[in-house]
Homo-oligomer: A and B are copies of this chain.
Amino acid sequence: MYELYYWPTIQGRGEFVRLLLEDIGADYLDVARQPEEDGGGIPGLRAFLDDPGHAEPPFAPPILKDGDTLVTQTPLIMDYLGERHGLTPQDDGARRRTLQLSMLLADFLIEVHDVHHPLAKEFYYEDQKDEALRRAPGFRDVRIPKFYGYLDRLLGSSGYLVGKDLTHADLSLFQIVEGMRYAFPQTMARLEPDYPAIVALRDTIAARPGIAAYLASERRIPFNTHGIFRHYPELDA
């Protein structure tokens, strides 16, 4: 059984891993969402992070534990799980391109976060709201079209990012689309019609049985203003 170590009250980076695990119907334990008395909660997560017994101590969540193997960095977790469950291409070049796109999406995610936290993770949003208001227009007008335009072109005729079959990078793009709709509803309502292939991929993935069941379940934590995608109406337009 896989164990996922991630913050229990947000989707965040861990959600990419959850989506993959749910899509393949994996048996997994979302450790920090278990009761504290069973070793879960944030105390359980912290105890795992601080455990001096790790041969290869992890830097930060999300962390996947598969027996004695720990994998960190979301794109690498996706690559690792995808290889074992048919969502990572077997061909070396295609596998590398899939990981490359997953890393690009991770880069975009940092920009999404930094729109509302341009100064520091350590400050509250309210203490960097003026700066966020200055950062948001460039994100909306320049960065989103740059990323979405690139990805939409890549989807091309096959409808998937790499080759002709679904990969873990497609699942990650689904999560980006969902997060962006939550955080920037006005912006995305305006921009999405320019990227029909992305919207079509989103719909394809939402209809996959494992994903549809997950989204309808209580396991899917609602988006909220503690995660990476945050809906602050003043940053949307």
Interface residues of A (CB under 8 A from B): 56-57, 59, 69, 71-73, 75-76, 80, 93, 96-97, 99-100, 103-104, 107, 110, 114, 118-123, 128, 131, 134-135, 138-139, 142, 150, 153-154
Contact = CB atoms under 8 A, between A and B. Distances in A.
User: How many copies make up the complex?
Assistant: 2
A115 B71 CA distance: 29
A100 B73 contact: yes
- Does more than half of chain A's interface fall in helix, strand or loop, or is it mixed? helix
A93 to B, nearest CB: 7
Count chain B CB atoms within 10 A of each CB in A104, A107, A120, A150 and give the residue with the most: A120
A153 B73 contact: no
Given A103-B73, A103-B76, A131-B131, A56 B118 contact: no
Nearest to A80: B96
A93 B131 CA distance: 42
Contacts of A72: 100
Contacts of A122: 138, 142
